[in-house]
Amino acid sequence: QVQLVESGGGLVQDGGSLRLSCVASGSRFAINAVNWYRQAPGKSRELVASINNGGLANYADSVKGRFTISRDDALNTVTAYLQMNSLKPEDTDVYYCNAYYIKTMSGSGHDLWGQGTQVTVSS
């Protein structure tokens, strides 16, 4: 079984920085893309950034130039980071890590979500 655990949220002032981490661990699995989403109460979930296993990253227009997604792939573990700089109050949301993984033995696919981490930017 593969687990996904997030960490790194918190409270920061306008213009500050935070780094979120997302660790996928288990055995015999493969992950292509890792995604970071965010969601405010009453709003739909927004894709913030994604990175595939070749290191190709994509960003929402609202975070380009401020956020950087990266990943480290090791045996039985994939760790993704979201470095958030020049944070603004409108970046305040719950941030979720998401990954779709394939069990290498069975070939079955599974969509996995982290528990969410609160990011609050004060003005």
60 contacts: CB under 8 Å, gap ≥ 6 = 46, 47, 48, 49
Task: List pLDDT tens digits, range 58-114.
Answer: 999 999 999 999 999 998 899 999 999 999 999 999 999 999 999 988 989 999 999
CA 70 to chain centre: 9
Tell me the pairing of strands 10-13 and 117-122.
parallel
pLDDT, average across residues 41-46:
92
Task: List pLDDT tens digits, range 45-57.
Answer: 999 999 999 999 9
CA–CA distance, 30 with 86 (Å, rounded to integer):
33
Write down the pLDDT at residue 92: 96
C-beta atoms surrounding 42 within 10 Å: 5
